[in-house]
Amino acid sequence: MAPGWGALALLALAAGAAGGPRYSADWASLDARPLPAWFDEAKVGVFVHWGVFAVPAWGSEWFWWNWRGEHRAAYERFVAQRYPPGTTYADFAPLFTARDFQPRDWARLFQSAGARYVVLTTKHHEGFTNWGSPVSWNWNSVDTGPHRDLVEELGEALRERNIYYGLYHSLLEWFHPLYLDDKKNGFKTQNFVFQKTMPELYDLVLRYKPDLIWSDGEWEAPDTYWNSTSFLAWLYNDSPVKDTVVVNDRWGQNCSCHHGGFYNCADKYKPGTLPDHKWEMCSSVDRSSWGYRSNMQLAELMDASSIIRELVQTVSFGGNYLLNVGPTKEGVIVPIFQERLLSLGEWLGINGEAIYASKPWRVQVENSTNNVWYTSKGPAVYAIFLNWPRDDMLKLSSPIPSSDTEVTLLGFSGTLKWKKSPDKGLLISLPYIAPSVLPMQLGWTLRLEGVK
Ligand SMILES: *[C@@H]1O[C@H](CO)[C@@H](O)[C@H](O)[C@H]1NC(C)=O
Ligand SMILES: *[C@@H]1O[C@H](CO)[C@@H](O)[C@H](O)[C@H]1NC(C)=O
Ligand SMILES: *[C@@H]1O[C@H](CO)[C@@H](O)[C@H](O)[C@H]1NC(C)=O
């Protein structure tokens, strides 16, 4: 290399550092953007599905589609039995009152749940916007229903508590005439994108300066139809959140699991091995719905131990865990959802050290009867076990102990006795713990220091 080259390269680097890199509107460039660090450190989020679907509150948030798209008999019957003849989905909007919506109470609850970020549906596939979108005439929460800017109110309350704010946004709208038109044209026209989707996405970013955009509803059309790469290039280069915003991977047909920021892949995606790209698992306390359903049964809900198991598996595999609740049309998060969220928070209060800002360890899971999952942070290795061994002796096969090895149990003071296991790993004697000392029985964390 000629001497001049080094100086030139340094100059180029300096210019890059000062102005920040520029991204072009193609996946090769956009995919190369490093993910802002806050997201991986946050690990735990709460997802909120809220919209007009909370009015019928039956089946799922896909109510309108199941009723008027697929004409499912059960939905036709449901409406015929409960609403006057001639009722349309639009008639539900005034009943979406949000009259008990207390954004600060929600924010306090989410913080108590241990959530470091919250993602709200600003607009689901029904097209109703939870803010006063200028291109969603009379189909938004300011002109009808609550007569409030729900997106703004929740954002303000979350920010008072330093919780990151994510905006869910559906690219498609099931019944929007312009969308149906573009679809009829084989997505060769983009009238819906230019008159609805893009103006709304830009509006959301400029008004609310989100930390995260959780895109959805992409699957019927290619990213070229949605103009996604053009929006993302603006978002990363010139938007007010260019340095901090993260996005997911649902930006057009076949993008999911391949392009974008972090990957969601499918809903409730569970990898079997450690993925090589940052990902997030979204899950829902109500296993059968994301939106609130008044007819849900207790057996259909995740219990606290399944929530903790999902969280631990997800974080061991390098993922974030986004747990959903659907509020009622009045804006109430029903007590059973609150209880589940608070259990999660209580568990994280003791074991959060092994979760927040952790990194996957060289081994993620040990297939023992005790169901042991690993994470790590700096020199510490965390072994999270979900079943307490009957003889109070826990065997860990993967860590290699040394004479300096120290084992502690999070939430319990003092070090634990251990010995080398005759084959490999450690045998750890678990202490007797009075339930009043460590009340959470949903999984325990050992901190191992001085192991390889
Ligand atoms: C997405 O993948 C499917 C199945 O492989 C293929 O038929 C379709 O053409 C792809 N769409 C785009 C936009 O690449
Ligand atoms: C759509 O994408 C094209 C190509 O990247 C770009 O020139 C155009 O400005 C975009 N339009 C909108 C409304 O985003
Ligand atoms: C552990 O068990 C899981 C599920 O039973 C299985 O998919 C995985 O391959 C096993 N891993 C090892 C290392 O045996």
pLDDT digits (tens, 9 = 90+) for 89-148: 999 999 999 999 999 999 999 999 999 999 999 999 999 999 999 999 999 999 999 999
* 2 confidence band (pLDDT: 50, 70, 90): very low
Nearest CA to ligand 2 atom 4: 230
275 lines ligand 1 (CB under 6 A): no
Atom number in ligand 2 closest to CA 193: 13
Q: Is the CB of 29 under 6 A from ligand 2?
A: no
The answer to whether residues 200 and 135 touch, using CB atoms and an 8 Å cutoff, is: yes
Say if 6-354 and 365-449 have the same CATH topology: no
Average pLDDT on 286-301 reads 97
Contact 376, 316 (CB under 8 A): no
Element (H, E) at 15: helix 3-19
Amino acid sitting at position 160: E
* Ligand 2 contacts CB of residue 25 (under 6 A): yes
Q: Is the pLDDT at 4 greater than 70, yes or no? A: no
Helix axes 103-112, 335-351, angle to 10 degrees: 40
**Domain locations in the chain?**
6-354, 365-449
What's the pLDDT tens digit per position in 59-92?
Answer: 999 999 999 999 999 999 999 999 999 999 999 9
Per CATH, which fold does 365-449 belong to? Answer: Immunoglobulin-like (2.60.40)
Average pLDDT over residues 309-314: 97
CA of 234 to the centre of ligand 1 (A): 26
Whether the model pTM is above 0.85: yes
Inter-residue contact 314 to 322 (CB < 8 Å): no
User: 367 CB less than 6 Å from ligand 3?
Assistant: yes
Identify the CATH number of the domain defined by range 6-354: 3.20.20.80
Residue 359's CB: how many other CB atoms inside 10 A?
11
Provide the pLDDT for residue 210.
98
DSSP state of 193: I
pLDDT, tens digit (0-9, with 9 covering 90-100), for 379-432: 999 999 999 999 999 999 999 999 999 999 999 999 999 999 999 999 999 998
CB neighbour list of residue 427: distance below 8 Å, 6 or more residues apart: 393, 394, 395, 418, 419, 420, 421
Rounded Cα distance, 292 and 87, in Å: 21
Split at pLDDT 50, 70, 90, the class of 19 is low
Average pLDDT taken over every residue of the chain: 94
Quick: pLDDT tens for 435-449: 888 877 899 999 999
Amino acid code (one letter) for 135: V
Is residue 16's pLDDT more than 80?
A: no
**Amino acid 360: pLDDT:** 98
- Compute, in angstroms, the gap from residue 214 CA to the centroid of ligand 2: 20
Mutate to test the pocket of ligand 3, among 309, 362, 365 (most ligand atoms within 8 A of CB): 365
pLDDT at 3: 39
